[in-house]
Structure 1
Amino acid sequence: MSEQNILIIGNGFDLALGLPTRYVDFITFMKYLPKYSSTHNSSKINTSSFSKLYISKDKSMEEDPAKSKRTVRDFFNYCFPKEGAQPYYNAHKKLDSLRNNNALLQYFFEAPYAKEGWIDFEAEIESLIGLMFEYFQDASPFNLSRLGDIDGKFARLNCILNGRESLSQTAFFDVLKDDLNGLIIALDYYLTYFVSNLPIRKKMKCLYDLEISNILSFNYTTTYSETGIHLSSKCIHHIHGHHSVFQSEKPSHNIVLGIRDAFTNREDVYDIIYFKKHFQRIQQRTGNTYKKWFRAANLYNDPSPAKSLNFYIIGHSLDTTDQDILRECICNKATNSVKIYYYSQSDYEQKVINLLKVLSRDTFEELYYNETITFHELEMISGF
């Protein structure tokens, strides 16, 4: 039986390579977005100073905003070219407008930075939508004077009301939908014009030994192409979309950034469906390429599949937000092995906890003890 080796990657893949792709990095960049200065000298900037825009895991960015501002300024100036800068001027103009007029961005500028993963970011959006949805079940239309009765953090969303006395549930979520779309556009520009300009000076040792045939990416970037992996587009599936092509006349902005599909059991609530990932995948046309790989190998109907599957998972949290896809891969009847790479003991433990939620205890322990699922520490090589 032939084998198919599928690499599954999440945002931790980029983080391990030193790129500032956490939501904290993005929000910090947007908050302290500087004005362009024609006198900058990018050759004197140490890129390691902004490999992480966030100051540290232990203290809030608000404790040293001056340092954050300097770091973002250096990052911005490093990426902004002296020649051929017009696309960057256009991107900066759009980012500046979004920063000043987007309620969700303003909300996250003031939010505490206790956590840093994209699943935490999505959890914040889900919390906001959930509380507002519950509110509207009790009191509609929306009354500004009662805003503080729910949670003090909603005071940060005053701008979303645009001075109106009240909004219906549908009107409120329509405005929030537009702001989410604006946030996605800002993230697209950030990744396309800034993060993609950063050098990668690390390598993953395991990638030298793997013969990858396909990539299932939950990332918005194409960083894997900088690690020595070269596959045709048919062998790569960005299931959550990817950032636009540099200088594209029609940016795609097809990034999926939403909440759990199982957020509410009420399927008739269409006011919030725009925020659900399963809808966004269809809306953004991210496709079902990975399913085509399975069908081509007769994995769905043939009781004896022609290929066995080996999965290598790097940088994915294995959280329940992607549980439908993870189950389809890990529990596939053709799956021979699932190698999961972790960065630290705490990362290993969290991945085990998440898999217990995604697969159930019985399924996880069966796959773990028969060594279908194995865990491996990710080894990095620096100095490139």
Structure 2
Amino acid sequence: MNILIVGNGFDLSHYLPTKYDHFMVAMDAIENWDEWSDEINFDDIFGTLYEKEGYFFGYTKSIYKTEKIKFSSAKIENLKQKLESNVWYKYFSEHYNKLDTWIDFEQKINEALNQILRLIEIYNKSRERVSLLENLICEYKSDEFEIINLPNDLLRKLSYLGILETHDNFSCAFWGGIEPQEKWKFSKDYIISDDSDYDEGMNILDLRVNEIFKTLSDQLEDFSELFSFYLNNIVCNLKPKKKFKKIGIGVNTEIYSFNYTNILKSYYFLDNKISFLHGSLEKSNIILGVADISDKLREYKPYQFVKYAQKILKETDYKFLEESKLIQEIYDEAKYSSGYEEYYVDPQDVKIAIWGHSLDQSDSNYIKELFSLNNEKINAFITIYVHNKNAKKDMLYNLFNILGQSEVEKWMKKGWLKFEPNPDIAKLNNIEPVELPKLAEA
């Protein structure tokens, strides 16, 4: 192969616990660990997943020295404090059962930003209705009273993000003559008021929108540090019991990674240059965010949540195929000048393998660039490795969505695009799964 593109599925093919729910289950185990216990180990961290993912973790424990993964009570306590103070961790924990992939995770960030936009719009309309607003927020709606009315689902989501907190001194029933409800108020960090006595209630003079986005951005950065800790201290500390057999990556293969880990180097000892498009653990510049924001959100400039902006600010590897050394060499060789005339040689073949990338809309700019390579100078042949039939279906539908059905059909008919099963790492290395601990299964 000339070019290899890897995503999270590449790490999962090596039975590394890099799925979204692997991370959240690990953090939940740490958060709820008995403070009187001396240490926590691999089975304590992932044991609740052994029944659902016994096949996967049976191979993980067979391949890696999982007994080396353990944390002291002091480190656990430090992690607990960070988890308990992070609003994004609380927010994602509340939605844990609804999230399956890192794509779902990104969509939840986008949803949170849009919930804040809903809050701003409702707040602005309330300000137009009355001259002064109490710092009291209820689900009950009435145009007669000086309170902000938000739907119950929005109230709860904003409370998970730390924007709202419970209000103990007022009752919504006082204004509406209805059954008492939960009542909320803005966190004092996010409003400008006319009263210094926050606990007794006050009139809101303004909502500090920029402060909301800044704090949530800082908290998301803290969340990314928690994820970096997980990858560095658990995933990357899983050392193989024996060397992996080579998987056919040549010394001249260009590699582009959407992962933060570098198992190609640590497990296969490759010296190939790897471009980390979403940042890397080694450079401490990992990217966590959304592909884009709506036009309405752009009015408030929360670009710190956009991956494109993060890539520039964190100085990740930015160049992709158009700037590829291999591609540029082909372009240079394909054309030379003699006087004022230009002569062209036959196009060169470029073989591209995609292993473990979902081809989701969030990376559509890369996918479009990838499928624009075929021209008079390059014959691009793309092989997409898939985990199973469902994965193939999802990837195909993603390509339809990004490129259009006719473009995908053209690539298939011309033999430029094909799908193949993932290389079976366990089979290649003659590895069988081990039986998981009975205690962890329970």
Q: Please, what TM-score do these two structures have when normalized by structure 2?
A: 0.67
* Aligned residue identity for 1:380: D
Q: Percent identity?
A: 25
Contact 2:5–2:255, Cα closer than 8 Å, also in 1: yes
Over the aligned positions, Cα root-mean-square deviation in angstroms equals 3.7
Once the 2 structures are TM-superposed, how far is the Cα of residue 15 of structure 1 from its aligned partner? 1.2
Once the 2 structures are TM-superposed, how far is the Cα of residue 46 of structure 1 from its aligned partner? 6.4
Q: Indicate the residue corresponding to 2:83 in structure 1.
A: 99
Q: Indicate the residue corresponding to 1:240 in structure 2.
A: 278
* Aligned residue identity for 2:52: S
Change in 2 beyond 3 A, CA 1:242/1:93? farther
Once the 2 structures are TM-superposed, how far is the Cα of residue 242 of structure 1 from its aligned partner? 1.2
Structure 2 unaligned residues grouped into runs of 5+:
54-64, 128-132, 138-148, 166-186, 192-206, 336-343, 432-442
Change in 2 beyond 3 A, CA 1:123/1:338? same
Q: Indicate the residue corresponding to 2:162 in structure 1.
A: 159
Q: Indicate the residue corresponding to 1:378 in structure 2.
A: 422
Q: Indicate the residue corresponding to 2:373 in structure 1.
A: 332
Once the 2 structures are TM-superposed, how far is the Cα of residue 268 of structure 1 from its aligned partner? 4.6
Change in 2 beyond 3 A, CA 1:179/1:307? farther
Q: Indicate the residue corresponding to 2:111 in structure 1.
A: 127
Change in 2 beyond 3 A, CA 1:311/1:292? closer
Inter-partner Cα distance in structure 1 for 2:26 and 2:3 = 33
Inter-partner Cα distance in structure 1 for 2:373 and 2:37 = 55
* Aligned residue identity for 1:157: Y
2:23 alignment partner, one of 22, 26, 29: 26
1:136 alignment partner, one of 120, 125, 133: 120
1:113 alignment partner, one of 94, 97, 111: 97
Once the 2 structures are TM-superposed, how far is the Cα of residue 282 of structure 1 from its aligned partner? 0.5
Once the 2 structures are TM-superposed, how far is the Cα of residue 112 of structure 1 from its aligned partner? 3.6
* Aligned residue identity for 1:326: I
Contact 2:114–2:297, Cα closer than 8 Å, also in 1: no
Inter-partner Cα distance in structure 2 for 1:218 and 1:229 = 19
Write out the 4+ residue segments of structure 1 that deviate beyond 6 Å after TM superposition.
35-38, 141-144, 201-205, 300-303
SS in 2 for 1:312: strand
Q: Indicate the residue corresponding to 2:234 in structure 1.
A: 194
Equivalent pairs counted in the alignment come to 345
Once the 2 structures are TM-superposed, how far is the Cα of residue 95 of structure 1 from its aligned partner? 2.8
Inter-partner Cα distance in structure 2 for 1:309 and 1:362 = 22
Contact 2:116–2:158, Cα closer than 8 Å, also in 1: no
Once the 2 structures are TM-superposed, how far is the Cα of residue 317 of structure 1 from its aligned partner? 0.4
Q: Indicate the residue corresponding to 1:208 in structure 2.
A: 247
Inter-partner Cα distance in structure 2 for 1:342 and 1:9 = 12
The question of 1:12 aligning with 2:9 is answered: yes
Inter-partner Cα distance in structure 2 for 1:211 and 1:335 = 19
SS in 1 for 2:162: helix
Contact 2:224–2:288, Cα closer than 8 Å, also in 1: yes
Identify the range of structure 1 (4-13 vs 319-328) with the bigger mean alpha-carbon deviation.
4-13
Inter-partner Cα distance in structure 2 for 1:240 and 1:14 = 15
Q: Indicate the residue corresponding to 1:344 in structure 2.
A: 388
SS in 2 for 1:8: strand
SS in 1 for 2:275: strand
Inter-partner Cα distance in structure 1 for 2:39 and 2:27 = 19
Inter-partner Cα distance in structure 2 for 1:51 and 1:359 = 41
Once the 2 structures are TM-superposed, how far is the Cα of residue 239 of structure 1 from its aligned partner? 0.5
Change in 2 beyond 3 A, CA 1:197/1:52? farther
Q: Indicate the residue corresponding to 1:175 in structure 2.
A: 215
Once the 2 structures are TM-superposed, how far is the Cα of residue 37 of structure 1 from its aligned partner? 7.7
Q: Please, what TM-score do these two structures have when normalized by structure 1?
A: 0.77
The question of 1:316 aligning with 2:319 is answered: no
Inter-partner Cα distance in structure 2 for 1:299 and 1:144 = 64
Contact 1:17–1:203, Cα closer than 8 Å, also in 2: no
Contact 1:9–1:219, Cα closer than 8 Å, also in 2: yes
Inter-partner Cα distance in structure 1 for 2:94 and 2:401 = 31
Contact 1:22–1:118, Cα closer than 8 Å, also in 2: yes
SS in 2 for 1:116: coil
Contact 1:216–1:236, Cα closer than 8 Å, also in 2: yes
Change in 2 beyond 3 A, CA 1:211/1:126? same
Q: Indicate the residue corresponding to 1:254 in structure 2.
A: 285
Which protein has the larger Cα radius of gyration, Structure 1 or Structure 2?
2
Question: Deviation string for 1:208-261 (max 9, x for gaps)?
Answer: 3443611100001112224536124xx2101101114xxxxxxx4311111123
Inter-partner Cα distance in structure 1 for 2:301 and 2:111 = 16
Change in 2 beyond 3 A, CA 1:188/1:41? closer
Contact 2:39–2:70, Cα closer than 8 Å, also in 1: no
Once the 2 structures are TM-superposed, how far is the Cα of residue 381 of structure 1 from its aligned partner? 3.6
Structure 1 unaligned residues grouped into runs of 5+:
58-74, 245-251
